[in-house]
Amino acid sequence: MNKILVTGATGMVGSSLVRRLLEQQKHVVALVQDWDTQSELVRSGDIQKINVVNGALEDIAPLRRAIGKFEIDTVFHLGAQTIVGTALRNPLETFEANIRGTYQLLEVCREQNVERIVVASSDKAYGDSPVLPYTEDMPLQGLHPYDASKTCTDIIAQTYAHTYNMPITIARCGNIYGAGDLNWSRIIPGTIKATLENQPIRLRSDGSMQRDYLFVEDVIDAFLELAKASPRDGIRGHGFNFSPEKPFTVLEIVNAVLQTMNAQHLTPIIENTAKFEIQHQYLDSSKAKRLLGWTAAHTLQTGLERTIPWYKKLLGAL
């Protein structure tokens, strides 16, 4: 694992993964569609230390160029349209990026005999289920645009693994948070930003939805373990859940952020306008612990303590 392609490298998880790979002195290539000056990949200067191929997942030519020209042996496929609300408003663009982008990338990996491939799926791939927590043997049945796109991503990855014996593994994570997340519609960065800017904290839901919240550095640990294990029998072609196995409601998350920021006096405004979002969703990670030796190293509190200072610096609040 020396020549590595990362899709979605300008996002929170991608930026963190690139930094970790550079620390390990790997040769990193990133597929970048849009140059985002606020991205941690750009702000940190890491983008100057890697090779960049410009292009979109929907276009197969830059994928072939990136993997062929740089003789890539490992791919981390994180690139996607990741916002549930955006998917609801723009399903076609979401399907193009998340579904077409996945099968085109995997087809190029097949052509080029890539040695290790990690595909980022999501807990949303499971859809809604009355049985909790989700385990990997449960059906994938997302019914709304974002959820369905992740169900398809997941199944396409399994198809390539099982049909062509490709060394693919699939990561299904809950809600990921940490430094570098600029999607302010998400509850943790949105609450931090509103608090720092003395703005109202607005909740789209009624505050009772339950989710996993997984610190980004724990996700990077998971992806690296998956990559190492991808060629192994019993691992290849499998999906793995990654979770701290301690779900929180939206209100509990808001209160934890406010307490960490010494702003417990603030009260969020509950708008309760969210549509087509699953009420309760959290994961069982015993398979990852058993087969990969992975467990989350951070609690919510330790994760927030590492996250909030980054936003304070970004927003000039120090």
Which residues 6+ apart lie within 8 Å of 24 measured at CB? none
- Rounded to 5°, angle at Cα 222 from 219 and 224: 110
Task: Locate the domains of the chain by residue range.
Answer: 3-176+216-242, 177-211+246-281+297-314
Please name the amino acid found at residue 108: V
pLDDT along the chain (318 residues), means of 10: 96 97 98 89 96 97 98 97 89 97 98 98 95 97 96 98 98 96 94 95 93 98 98 96 97 98 94 85 97 98 97 82
Please tell me the distance from the alpha carbon of residue 184 to that of residue 308, in angstroms, as a whole number. 14
Q: How many CA atoms lie within 13 A of 92 on its CB side?
A: 0
Q: What is the pLDDT of residue 273?
A: 87
What's the pLDDT at 23?
98
Which residues participate in catalysis according to the annotation? 146
Predicted local distance difference test score (pLDDT) of residue 245: 96
Q: Does the 177-211+246-281+297-314 domain belong in CATH 3.40.190.80?
A: no
Pick the CATH number of 3-176+216-242 from 3.40.50.720, 3.20.19.10, 3.30.43.10, 3.40.50.300: 3.40.50.720
Q: How many residues does the chain have?
A: 318
pTM of the model: 0.95
